[in-house]
Amino acid sequence: MPNVLWWGRFDPDYARNRILRKLFAESGWQVRDFHPKLVQVADWEARLSRLPVPDLIWVPCFRQRDLAAASRWAKKHGIPLIFDPLISAYDKQVDERGKLDAGSSHAKKLLAWEKGLFQRADRVIADTPAHADYFAQVLGVSKNALSVVYVGAQEAIFKPELHPARSSGGTLEVLFYGSFIPLQGPQVVIEAARLYQGPSVKWVLLGQGPMRKLCEEKARGLANVTFEDWMPYEKLPARIHQANILLGIFGTTPKAGRVIPNKVYQSLACGRPVITRSASAYPDALIAADNSGLVWTPAGDAQALADHVATLAADPGKLHVFGEAAAKTSRQYFSELALRHQLDAALKKLPA
């Protein structure tokens, strides 16, 4: 049985990690962990502790800082290393948050640092084709060293339930959940609720994050908007099932066009129609599909979002059709089986 060593100070319960570790196990791999005490000298810690040599090292998402030591140890033992970054630190600080100007010395230093790290890996995993393009164009990763493995949703808990109950008075529920960051564009949801003209709907925003207070202030006086606090991960599917229409992201940052957020995967898997911003992150065939359960809206366009909600709410009898299409999309493009094929394809491209 081949074994893969997950290297770094990562969170095994994060959705991306949960799914990939499950896929490795189901494909016949033994999954072992190494959580170093000091990431900068983790290779020395591995040597001193006589860490058993695996067949593959996997550095999981967000763990750029673990990559240098992991690559030194992998090179010493002649074993391949895969990096699954999920995000770019440079992208996050420069393009998304705007904390650094691209022309500044700090930004250039960050870019050079991250470029060097990414090129240490034998293979880099991107979660969308758009991210793969970014890694190639900005971070200098060879296209031959890139593979795409979508994130997906945990099928054991995110399952279709196609007939949600309607609240009293026949009101439909539109649910946004997330961490209230600019990429998600939660303020666009509030503005859409203000502009909305259509059958009775209740707009619910669930979660916590830096923009929640701003959203609460913008929602003052809107009787059709309510807020809910975050809930345990395991209870999220049942909460999704209570809603009729799910909302994805609406941010206008460059990164918002390169990602498919967890909540889109999860909502589709639960059989709910999803309204979200158009983006090149999705498979081309899915973007071109007539009825996918996904309704595309321009980034940052509150009026378009309000209009889409009104169109769906005007014919609630068809919501189950959209829900069935959403579940089909999840199975076809983002199921664990589809992801396993993508992971297997990436592993087959590793150096012998």
pLDDT digits (tens, 9 = 90+) for 35-63: 999 999 999 999 999 999 999 999 999 99
Residues 306 and 262 in one domain: yes
Which residues span the domain enclosing 144? 3-152+336-348
Number of domains in the chain: 2
In a domain, 130, yes or no: yes
pLDDT in tens, 229-243: 999 999 999 999 999
% helix, strand, coil for the chain, step of 5: 45, 15, 40
Residues 147 and 196 in one domain: no
* pLDDT value, residue 68: 97
Residues 93 and 190 in one domain: no
Residues 145 and 172 in one domain: no
In a domain, 158, yes or no: no
Residues 238 and 307 in one domain: yes
In a domain, 265, yes or no: yes
Q: Is 267 helix (H, G, I), strand (E, B) or coil?
A: helix
Q: CB–CB of 274/264 below 8 Å?
A: yes
CA distances, 168 to each of 173, 200, 264 (Å): 11, 11, 27
Residues of the chain whose pLDDT is less than 50?
168
| Structure-block tokens of residue 300 | 């940052």
* pLDDT value, residue 95: 86
| Structure-block tokens of residue 254 | 């460059």
The model's pTM: 0.94
What backbone phi and psi angles, to 5 degrees, belong to 299?
A: -60, 135
Residues 134 and 69 in one domain: yes
Residues 193 and 68 in one domain: no
Residues 241 and 186 in one domain: yes
Residues 235 and 323 in one domain: yes
Residues 191 and 55 in one domain: no
Residues 48 and 123 in one domain: yes
Give the pairing of strands 3-7 and 56-59: parallel
In a domain, 159, yes or no: no
